[in-house]
Amino acid sequence: MKNILRGLILLAALFFLIRFSTACSPKKVSMEPPQSYQSYLTSIHPDFMVEPNKAYQWHRYKDKGGPTHSGDASWQRFMTFLEKEFKRYGVVDITKNKWTYDRWYTSEWPEDKNWTLISDGTQVKVAHYSAYSGSTGPDGIAAELIYYNPASPPASIKGKIAVFTTAPHPNPPLDKGYQTWFTINDYEYLSDPETFPPMHTKVPVNEIVSFDIWWQLRQTIRMIDTLKKGQAAGGIIIFDGSYDRIAGLYTFPVPVLYNAPTLLLDRVAGKKVLEDAKNGRKATLKLLAKIEKTETYQLIGYLPGKNYGKPSDEKIVLTTHTDGPGISQDNGAFGILGIMAYFSHIPQAERPKTLMIFLDNRHYMPGMEKGFEQEDWFTKYPESKKSVVALIGTEHLGQIEYKEEGNAFLPTGKVEPSFLWTRNNPLLIKMAIKAVKDNKWPRVMVQCVEKPGIHGGPQGVWYGMGKIALDWNIPGFATMGSQGAYWATTARINKFDKRLFYTQVATMVQLTGELMQADFR
């Protein structure tokens, strides 16, 4: 009897030990999926998602390679990683649409020995170079400085080093163009509205720098054109920003090669140079760069749907660009990888449509997408568009908001505002808003640029690769962060928010599932 009692006690103890250890296990126990996976196309199954820590490891790997300029060693490393992971998640028939181009490059920040400036005998701290601006000899260019004031331009800048300053923001009333490009516009839905500036008003940099840096970067188009037409020996662009904000800033839009070596300065370093230019002092500008024939490619692949390979197959294109200067300028590919990882858990027979990855490589090439339009996959093979019925675009994910106070460049403690665009269809708009709410995406604007917003005003510009949906006139959703600190090579892993990335990917997974289920006939 005692032996039986002792055995029962041991059995009970073992039972509770197993229950306790299971409850305390750090490993998540997956819930058993139903026989049909259809509900998980549009309702997120957490076990199918890539966890934030894994997403962080992806980004950490990418960050170790530094900026990813199309075709360079860092970019090749990034693309090899992506291809391997896509295959692991079931992507098949991977194709590389290859060509070569003349890649211009120099040393990357903080290695600034190849881009230096001496103004009137004094060494000047240079924030960065202007990409595709040519190269000097090893001794640099010694020439007279001349200030270029667009309101009263000099008679000639030929053979001189022209100095530009970015223009200040206009005073109210703001014209429609400024409101559209450089302020908060109307929307269909806004999460956390109390954290946004008022619509159609100037946004001060001590709140957020995103709109200001875009305002200043756009002005480089005019400055570079002036340097080319004026046959200047070189150029200096002075930005109204602290060194920490301007350091590593990459030229955008990216120009074609223009052979007037140009350097970028912050406002502190630029103050002396501007005075020297107004007084006709001399300077020595050095920019040592090389041009190299470089192979690059677009990556195309497919996560097969139930009709893959049949005439009835319908495809959703998932697109982004793979080149850029910072941690999240080009991390949309990780967003697409996260989407593919999710749907790889759903059997092919349960996937109504095929997911087609289209990773573009031209965004930071000279002349950008238009400069290599003849090389584009869909230009070469227009028939490949026939089965495409919808589009998903992901860019600039997991970003942190930054501000500038005096000459201090600081995080605000909030995530960067994001855009989520869709087409002018009530069902698509409803899907977008629902997905944002379901996944609790903070600080995002749902916009449809084809119609007035809820306040009756315009809804701004559809930026990025996702606007292909407009060009092709197909349903789609696309997202990107507003990019304040992420135009520069100084934006590294410390400026990445893994939780926001997870939320953004979950939302785009849900919207991809909505497009998978939709009937476009």
359: helix, coil or strand? strand
Number of CB atoms found within 10 A of residue 310's CB: 9
Preceding omega of 382 cis (within 30 degrees of 0): no
Given a cut of 50, is residue 27 above it in pLDDT? no
Q: Is residue 27 part of a domain?
A: no
Given a cut of 60, is residue 304 above it in pLDDT? yes
The answer on 287 and 305 residing in a single domain is: no
pLDDT digits (tens, 9 = 90+) for 446-495: 999 999 999 999 999 999 999 999 999 999 999 999 999 999 999 999 99
Average pLDDT rounded to a whole number, residues 100-110: 98
The answer on 374 and 500 residing in a single domain is: yes
Given a cut of 80, is residue 21 above it in pLDDT? no
Complete edge-to-edge strand list for the sheet that includes strand 189-190: 92-105, 290-303, 354-360, 315-321, 388-394, 476-481, 418-422, 444-447, 189-190
Q: Which residue has the tokens 């495409």?
A: 388
Q: Are strands 161-165 and 141-147 parallel, antiparallel or unpaired?
A: parallel
The answer on 285 and 223 residing in a single domain is: yes
Average pLDDT rounded to a whole number, residues 52-63: 99
Given a cut of 90, is residue 71 above it in pLDDT? yes
pLDDT attached to residue 137: 97
Dump strand ranges (E) for 207-328. Answer: 234-238, 262-265, 282-287, 290-303, 315-321
pLDDT digits (tens, 9 = 90+) for 387-445: 999 999 999 999 999 999 999 999 999 999 999 999 999 999 999 999 999 999 999 99
Q: Is residue 15 part of a domain?
A: no
In angstroms, the CA 266 to CA 270 distance is 6
Average pLDDT rounded to a whole number, residues 56-78: 99
Q: Which of residues 243, 260, 291 is at a domain's end?
A: 291
pLDDT classification of 8: cutoffs 50, 70, 90: very low
Give the least confident one: 17-26, 115-124, 285-294.
17-26
- Would you say how long the chain is, in residues? 521
pLDDT attached to residue 36: 74
Can you give the three-state secondary structure of 407-453, one letter per residue? CEEEEEEEECCEEEEECCCHHHHHHHHHHHHHHCCCCEEEECCCCCC
Q: Which of residues 263, 291, 319 is at a domain's end?
A: 291
| CB neighbour class for 297 (10 Å; exposed up to 12, middle 13-18, buried from 19) | buried
Q: How many domains is the chain partitioned into structurally?
A: 2
Q: Is residue 189 part of a domain?
A: no
The answer on 303 and 270 residing in a single domain is: no
High-pLDDT (> 90) share of the chain, %: 92
Give the least confident one: 31-45, 73-87, 194-208.
31-45
Average pLDDT rounded to a whole number, residues 238-263: 98
The answer on 161 and 70 residing in a single domain is: no
The answer on 325 and 247 residing in a single domain is: no
pLDDT digits (tens, 9 = 90+) for 252-292: 999 999 999 999 999 999 999 999 999 999 999 999 999 99
CATH number (domain holding residue 157):
3.50.30.30
**Residue from 129, 103, 132, 69 nearest 258 by CA:** 132
The answer on 357 and 427 residing in a single domain is: yes
Given a cut of 90, is residue 521 above it in pLDDT? no
pLDDT classification of 520: cutoffs 50, 70, 90: confident
Domain of residue 354, residue span: 39-99+295-517
In angstroms, the CA 431 to CA 476 distance is 11
The answer on 138 and 165 residing in a single domain is: yes
98: helix, coil or strand? strand
Q: Is residue 451 part of a domain?
A: yes
pLDDT attached to residue 512: 99
Given a cut of 80, is residue 197 above it in pLDDT? yes
Q: Is residue 6 part of a domain?
A: no
Q: Is residue 4 part of a domain?
A: no
Q: Is residue 512 part of a domain?
A: yes
The answer on 404 and 428 residing in a single domain is: yes
CATH number (domain holding residue 305):
3.40.630.10
Q: Is residue 341 part of a domain?
A: yes
148-154: long-range contacts, CB 8 A cutoff, minimum separation 24: 148/223, 148/226, 150/222
Average pLDDT rounded to a whole number, residues 321-335: 98
Given a cut of 60, is residue 376 above it in pLDDT? yes
The answer on 447 and 305 residing in a single domain is: yes
Given a cut of 50, is residue 171 above it in pLDDT? yes
The answer on 241 and 301 residing in a single domain is: no
Q: Which of residues 223, 256, 291 is at a domain's end?
A: 291
pLDDT attached to residue 35: 53
In angstroms, the CA 61 to CA 80 distance is 12
Q: How many CA atoms lie within 13 A of 236 on its CB side?
A: 38
The answer to whether 404 and 209 are in contact (CB under 8 A) is: yes
The answer on 442 and 364 residing in a single domain is: yes
Identity of residue 270: G
